[in-house]
Structure 1
Amino acid sequence: MFSCANRFIFVFFTLLPNSGFTQTIVNIGICLHEGDLENFNIDTISGSASKDYLHISAATIMVPDDILDALHSICDKAALENGLTAIIGHTKGKTDNLLKSTSSFLGIPYINTQWIPREFTDIPNSFSVYPDTSMLALAYGAIVKSLSWSTFAIVYENEESLIRLQDVIKLQQYNKDAKRNSVILRKLHEADSRPIFKEIRHLPIYSVLLDCSIERTIEVLQQAKDVKLLDDINTNFFLTSLDAHTLNFTALNSKTNLTTVRLFNPFTSGVQRHTRKYYPNIDPNQISVKTALMHDAMLLLAESLNAIKSTHADGEIVYEPLFCNAPEKYSDKYGLVSALQEATVEGITGQISLPNGKREGFELEIIEIFNREEPIGTWDSNDPEKVVLKRNATQREADIQKRLQNHNFIVTSRLGGPYLYQSKDPEATGNARYYGYSMDLISEIAKEMNITFEFQITKDNAYGNLQQDLIDRRADLAICDFTITPQRREVIDFSLPFMSLGIGILHTTVETAEEANLYGFLGPLSTVVWLYIGLLYLILSFVLVLIARCSTEDWENPHPCEQNPSELENIWDLKNCCWLTLGSITTQGCDLLPKGTCTRIATASWWFFSLIITSSYTANLAAFLTMSKQEATIDSVEELAVQNKIKYGLVQGGSTATFFKNSNNSLYQRMWNTMVNEKPSVFESDNIKGVERVESTKNGLYAYFMESTGIEYEMERRCKLRRIGNLLDSKSYGIGMPMDAEYRHKINNAILKLAEVGKLTELKEKWWKLEREGKPCPVQEPVNTDALALVNVGGVFIVLGAGIALAFFIAILEFLWNCYNISVEEHITFTEALKIELKFACNIFITRKRAKPVISEASSEKSDKEDDAKSHKGILPGLGSFLNVSMLHVDEHSARSPTPKSGSKRRSS
């Protein structure tokens, strides 16, 4: 329906033949809104119709606003002498339907130049030079798809917008579980739409499709700028209005990429020619679609009039009055409707033909507002699924690079070594306030991209706020130990990884003091068993004495040379029996062996017992001593999970926590539930506190899940730390950026170049190993953990020392007793005897000793010389004991009356 300012203007064109024959009067009604009079030039028809027989004149009649009054005005003009030949209208809604119905009844063609919704019924004499609604919807859908927007917002003015954008809306891929979906729709408010754009600004959406009237476009964009939506280089606006290219966007002073479409290129020679001829006072860049379509409609009508004139060259064309209250519909008397269906003209908006009353053949150019001369792509209705890009990759990169160079990138980060440190210089400003791996990395990338940047620290130094900075458009890039996760990729974009890593377990080396179990060698056998063995040893020694004395075979001839000895000797006294049993159980053997059957059976039984006991002891000794050496260490995540002594935790709210929380692995789920339910909490606010907790917890009773790069960094500086087991997963660090950021490709190229030249490796080596405080941790040599320490076998040394000490004590007692006997036998003092024996005992090279010492000094000196002479003849095969053991010269008297051997028994033969 028309507003109160709408008007109908009827322009009558009188076509007179120059030959002077009967005049042919042609009346064309043109229906326009108020203010549209300047959008057409009636000379278009006169300039395009045949000059041989047409003469044109015009008349303008204003029509009332009321639709019924408008109907009466049309019917009144149609009822004049020459009636109406055709109607051209730039209308829609009820007025458009009125004109269609009226022209259909009167049998004249109606040509509309305004966008109209899709019709459900076809009116044969109705034509539209405006692009067909369904084809235009296909065009918008294909163009938006070609822009590769992963998510975007549709901001529309009214319900008609949804008809135009139906194919765009079909691009929606809705997922109720997703944090974001492909498309959101918001309707513009009548007065202030700032709340809508403010909402979009706080969503992870960086592309907006705006469908509104050309009159509101600048106003709406200004409202978007007021909420800083147009100040972001990452934001993209697509304007669906075909007249958007005629607007002046300079006042917006926007960094946003504004893209639109146009029906014709005002810079082509054809458009320039039409403009100079018919619209000399209008800049070709300001020619609206309304004017262009009105111009093309008149061209099409002129061509059709020429066609019917040529078909009726010999006959007279006379248009008669038409009455709206006629009893029957009028017919198309001269075939003007058919002529319009067959006509084809080349107008401002391209080639026009309306065979079915609708314009289906047209082409749209995709342009950027700040570079309107060269379109970035075209869409053709003959291939509606395809968008042809006009710029090659080099040109696109050059355009993007030009925009990036004019933009100062805001880089958000967080403090934490080795990625970023606060400068100690209080007067430092700008980027000089910070240093670290992140600063060096972005500096290298900035050199590759030829851009400038400014660092800022995110709120609360929290990882979650890095992501929010990008979503809220407070930053263009986020760089630090920022892990690429599926959850984050739903709301922001990431560059290619600049570092690969995984989750590891940080623990400390437990320095446990080994328990001093000097008598650990006694462990394989219990105390009761040791007591039984000792008791059995003594009992068997006494039993062997008794058995040996009863055995006749163990009584031997002490002098084998005598055939009939008067006495027999038995060597198995208690001392020798104890020596035999002791040598057997220690597997060392004995030089004294029994000869009797009974004693051998008893000895063999003891040997078998000794074999079993000794073998069992030896088999258990190694395992027992090694067991005391082993520590209760954790070497894998499985071992950590099954025990409950060592607590384990991680940083709260980070990607590591997300990994455990969302993992499908039952082991990790169980560990996550354990961590959640631990009291006190095992979670930490950042990794620094987690590392300090690992170090400060006594006996290594706390382990910390952390990314492997952080573990490597801490292990280089805290020498007691270690990593447990293998990595739990594989992930990467990337540079965060807003969704659909057009500089993502440039960032990726820069990272690839830095990786190829080894710069990424160099930076990691610098900040992980070279840039440190203090000396690096010493390289630890491999330690044989199976080796036994002194504390494990020290008791054996004590037993040995005790045995030697006991032997020395007994030897001293025997030595003193021998000196006492000598002093009694030789009638000398004990001191003299001790002096003589001690002097002899200290001369270790003498191996022979007199049975009785020589008391006189001369005799003593002579004896010494004789002994020295004998010792110089050669070294005896064995060392003589310094006890009272001597090589006695046996004379005849001693041979006849031999002295019994020590410990032996004799009996009369």
Structure 2
Amino acid sequence: ASGMWRVCLGLLAYGLTLTAVAGARQRGNNFQRSLDDFTIVGLFHPEQKQQEFAFSSAVEAVNMDTQVIPFINLVPKIEYFSHFDSFNTSKRVCTLLEEGVGAIFGPQSVGTTGIVQSICDNMEVPHIDLRWDISNKPAGCVINLYPDSKLLAIALISVIRDMDWKSYTVLYEDYDSLIRLQEVFKDHEGLNHGEGFPPFTVRQLPVDDDDYRPLLKEIRTAGESHIVLDCPTDKIMTILTQANEVKLMGEYLSIIITSLDAHTIDFGEFRYDKTNITALRLIDPNSPTVLATLHDWQYEAHRKHQPFNLTATDLQIESLLTFDAVRLFALALHKHGGNLEPVPLDCHSGRTWEHGFSIINFMKNMEYEGVSGPMSFSEESGHRMFFRLEIIELAAEGFKKIGTWDPEHGINYTRTVGQMYSDIVQSITNKLFIVSSKIGRPYLEYTDNHQEKEGNARYEGYSMDLIDAIAKELGFKYQFELVKDNQYGVLSKTTKQWNGLIRELREKRADLAICDLTITYDRRSAVDFTMPFMTLGISILYKKNEKQDVDLFSFLSPLAFNVWITMATAYLGISLLLYILSRCSPYQWENPHPCNSEPEELELTFNLSNCLWFSIGSLTTQGCDLLPKAVSTRIVAGMWWFFTLIMISSYTANLAAFITQQKMDNTIDSAEDLVNQNKVKYGVMEDGSSYNFFMESNDSLYQKIWSSMQSATPSVITKSNDEGTDRVRKAKNRGYAFF
């Protein structure tokens, strides 16, 4: 029911219902004016039967539609040409022009299109081109319905960027492919330009040999996992089959096919393969307009008693462009109006057709939506400057649409994030992942009695816990394998080869790698990383000070012992001096009974004990209730207060410095601290990211650190992080630090 609904929509859109057809057949009886014959020529190669049928069907459909050109009857004339015989092509085109033609459609070969276009320009006869044209010169009497080559390249660039490819290999067949892809080659943004890794490589497919295996083996050996394939549609399956034979195909290989007819291929077993195959197409085979057009062709073939076995996925882009071109030309004739009868032209007379340029200009200024989607054209070049591409991925059920691209809006994905997540989960459910790692606490270590165990039971640690949690969430299986050379992964400057975990991943011996692996620029260029589960810079591992027992009299440490003795002597001396002066001064004797105005005895308030209390109170800045009254005692007290002010301030400052000194004793806070001393040696793990950082750094400080580590005896370079940790712990007098 849905299929019939879409067919009906298409029929209504093009005015091709059976009622319209019946009326069109009898329109000669309904109009008093006779129809004018208007000859148009289709130039095809012998093998282009589908394009030829599309041309004839389009003319028939236009003639049936009374609203398009009511007083003109298009007469199709089909001619066959060789791909490269330009001389005979020019002679035949001139013969056709002498018979009087209103437009020439095609041909689609590079060898003959140029001469046809040149003749049409000179004679001002509309030429409708339907091929991938790389020419940028201003057009005369020509219009091209094929998408503009530069815009197609931009679409390809957008897909490559969106896939986050850092490098890729381009497989091309001939010189024309290089010209078509030149805009792709110019775009380097987002690609890896690291040493030893060019952003892309360009490899030519053998021209005279159908054996592509040697080339495909080289690509597999190079470890390339991204390929842009630009070749004729009929060679795609041969290349993919041979790639599968050399073990290049697989879930880690991504291929972008540039052919807009990729949807017409039966990919067979590759639909169930894990290889990521992406393509672009100009038409949706399941759209109502395409299905309606297919229905019209079936009707036309049945009416002419011709066999017809095409399906929607068999429709080639050139065929549908031919169909659109005829209808667009008919609409331009209708808009132009007037007497448009073609006239015989002689290629050598210099005479031109007066309506040719105006018809082409009408076509260039039209915005039309046909079977191949919306279109608009450049007035200068005649190229198609607006079109809508579909981004498709190969799945078990065939190509699946995941998004669209057009020159105005770029990529617009129709697949939701939820659908993408669901597809990913479905693809990895119950799959066994090989996880490469290396022993290193606390990330991965052996369990007790690991010699008696097998598989994942031999290991434990954070890495195991993390992978296990992810596996339970996504439903896959995993198996840990230790890297044989026990290395993280370093790029050799001489061989340009990786070792360690990175090599395991690049050579597809492992699916994942997890451990305390630092993300560096070179590693990021070679493999993909998840978001890091821990973010660190380069830290210095250094043994802490041993904790000392607290001394009961440690508060005396800020001042020297003789200072304390001097202070005690001064305290006793001042107390005795105050006592003596108080006894000698009458002002320090007071009435013990204030109510008795004439006491017989007076009391000395500053006795010896009170003098001692006054002096100690002043020393601790607490004071007391007794204050001197005599001038002599006040002078002594003032001198003592000034002395205690200086001493207390000095003690406080020395105490703070003493405490800070204890905390800072032999501490290393930065790389500068290590360089500016010679008691503590420092080292790093061999071939680790920190090792490479110091070795390749241009900073003077880090160069000095590297020189010091290289010249140290015995060597300060360790084989593993565990060895470095043990060396820090066992170093005498905290004499070793580890990066």
Length-normalised TM-score, structure 1: 0.55
1:719 is aligned to none
Equivalent residue letter for 2:703? Q
| CA separation of 1:75 and 1:447: change in aligned 2, threshold 3 A | same
1:139 is aligned to 155
Between stretches 461-470 and 224-233, larger displacement belongs to 224-233
The answer as to 2:380 corresponding to 1:380 is: no
| CA separation of 1:106 and 1:645: change in aligned 2, threshold 3 A | closer
Cα contact 2:41–2:101 (8 A) shared by 1 = yes
Cα contact 2:434–2:512 (8 A) shared by 1 = yes
1:503-902 to 2 correspondence within 5 Å?
A: 503-506=539-542, 635-636=667-668, 641=675, 647-662=681-696, 666-691=700-725, 699=732, 703=736, 705-706=738-739
| CA separation of 1:499 and 1:362: change in aligned 2, threshold 3 A | closer
Question: Which of 255, 258, 282 is residue 237 of structure 1 equivalent to?
Answer: 255
| CA separation of 1:361 and 1:489: change in aligned 2, threshold 3 A | closer
> For the residues of structure 1 that align with 2:463 and 2:378, how far apart are their CA atoms?
65
1:351 is aligned to 374
Cα contact 1:18–1:55 (8 A) shared by 2 = no
Equivalent residue letter for 2:516? D
The answer as to 2:199 corresponding to 1:183 is: yes
> For the residues of structure 2 that align with 1:476 and 1:650, how far apart are their CA atoms?
29
2:580 is aligned to none
Deviation at 1:373, TM superposition (A): 6.7
Question: Which of 279, 284, 288 is residue 269 of structure 1 equivalent to?
Answer: 288
1:46 is aligned to 60
Gaps of at least 5 residues in structure 1 are: 1-14, 512-629, 707-909
Cα contact 1:86–1:109 (8 A) shared by 2 = yes
Question: Which of 345, 348, 365 is residue 390 of structure 2 equivalent to?
Answer: 365
1:287 is aligned to 315
1:168 is aligned to 184
Task: Provide Cα deviations, 1:342-390, integer angstroms capped at 9, x if missing partner.
Answer: 5665421023455733322211111222276753222223x15x32222
Cα contact 2:251–2:275 (8 A) shared by 1 = yes
Between stretches 83-92 and 185-194, larger displacement belongs to 185-194
Equivalent residue letter for 1:408? L
Question: Which of 413, 429, 453 is residue 389 of structure 1 equivalent to?
Answer: 413
Cα contact 1:693–1:702 (8 A) shared by 2 = no
The answer as to 2:492 corresponding to 1:475 is: no
> For the residues of structure 2 that align with 1:44 and 1:311, how far apart are their CA atoms?
23
Deviation at 1:180, TM superposition (A): 6.5
1:76 is aligned to 95
Equivalent residue letter for 1:241? S
Cα contact 1:203–1:471 (8 A) shared by 2 = no
Deviation at 1:691, TM superposition (A): 5.0
The answer as to 2:86 corresponding to 1:36 is: no
Deviation at 1:98, TM superposition (A): 0.7
Deviation at 1:329, TM superposition (A): 3.9
| CA separation of 1:110 and 1:59: change in aligned 2, threshold 3 A | closer
Deviation at 1:129, TM superposition (A): 1.0
Length-normalised TM-score, structure 2: 0.67
Equivalent residue letter for 1:276? H
Cα contact 2:153–2:183 (8 A) shared by 1 = yes
Gaps of at least 5 residues in structure 2 are: 1-24, 299-307, 490-499, 548-661
| CA separation of 1:289 and 1:231: change in aligned 2, threshold 3 A | same
> For the residues of structure 2 that align with 1:311 and 1:109, how far apart are their CA atoms?
17
1:189-338 to 2 correspondence within 5 Å?
A: 189-190=205-206, 191=209, 206-233=225-252, 235-252=253-270, 253-279=272-298, 281-307=309-335, 311-312=338-339, 318-332=341-355, 336-338=359-361
The answer as to 2:39 corresponding to 1:27 is: yes
| CA separation of 1:187 and 1:33: change in aligned 2, threshold 3 A | farther
Deviation at 1:400, TM superposition (A): 2.5
Deviation at 1:95, TM superposition (A): 0.8
> For the residues of structure 2 that align with 1:659 and 1:53, how far apart are their CA atoms?
81
Cα contact 1:509–1:700 (8 A) shared by 2 = no
Task: Provide Cα deviations, 1:88-119, integer angstroms capped at 9, x if missing partner.
Answer: 11324241111112222333211111111123
Deviation at 1:702, TM superposition (A): 6.0
> For the residues of structure 2 that align with 1:681 and 1:129, how far apart are their CA atoms?
72
Deviation at 1:198, TM superposition (A): 5.3
Deviation at 1:480, TM superposition (A): 1.4
The answer as to 2:143 corresponding to 1:127 is: yes
> For the residues of structure 2 that align with 1:246 and 1:288, how far apart are their CA atoms?
7
> For the residues of structure 2 that align with 1:453 and 1:188, how far apart are their CA atoms?
39
**What's the secondary structure of 2:256's corresponding residue?**
strand
Cα contact 1:503–1:656 (8 A) shared by 2 = no
| CA separation of 1:353 and 1:278: change in aligned 2, threshold 3 A | farther
Equivalent residue letter for 1:649? G
Question: Which of 111, 123, 136 is residue 106 of structure 1 equivalent to?
Answer: 123
> For the residues of structure 2 that align with 1:489 and 1:682, how far apart are their CA atoms?
28
**What's the secondary structure of 2:251's corresponding residue?**
coil
Task: Provide Cα deviations, 1:673-713, integer angstroms capped at 9, x if missing partner.
Answer: 1221234433222234445556777x56862515xxxxxxx
Equivalent residue letter for 2:346? F
Deviation at 1:435, TM superposition (A): 3.1
Task: Provide Cα deviations, 1:101-158, integer angstroms capped at 9, x if missing partner.
Answer: 22223332111111111231321x2111111223323333334333343444444334
Task: Provide Cα deviations, 1:591-647, integer angstroms capped at 9, x if missing partner.
Answer: xxxxxxxxxxxxxxxxxxxxxxxxxxxxxxxxxxxxxxx9xx954376765565665
Cα contact 1:341–1:355 (8 A) shared by 2 = yes
Equivalent residue letter for 1:474? R
Question: Which of 405, 428, 433 is residue 409 of structure 1 equivalent to?
Answer: 433
Cα contact 1:412–1:456 (8 A) shared by 2 = yes
Cα contact 1:413–1:480 (8 A) shared by 2 = yes
> For the residues of structure 2 that align with 1:55 and 1:126, how far apart are their CA atoms?
22
> For the residues of structure 1 that align with 2:734 and 2:192, how far apart are their CA atoms?
43
1:437 is aligned to 462
2:488 is aligned to 463
> For the residues of structure 2 that align with 1:336 and 1:500, how far apart are their CA atoms?
66
Equivalent residue letter for 1:208? I
| CA separation of 1:246 and 1:500: change in aligned 2, threshold 3 A | same
> For the residues of structure 1 that align with 2:376 and 2:667, how far apart are their CA atoms?
80
Deviation at 1:298, TM superposition (A): 2.0
Equivalent residue letter for 1:498? F
> For the residues of structure 2 that align with 1:176 and 1:185, how far apart are their CA atoms?
12
What is the RMSD of the two structures over their aligned residues, measured on CA atoms?
Answer: 3.9
> For the residues of structure 2 that align with 1:400 and 1:229, how far apart are their CA atoms?
22
The answer as to 2:531 corresponding to 1:489 is: no
Equivalent residue letter for 2:348? N
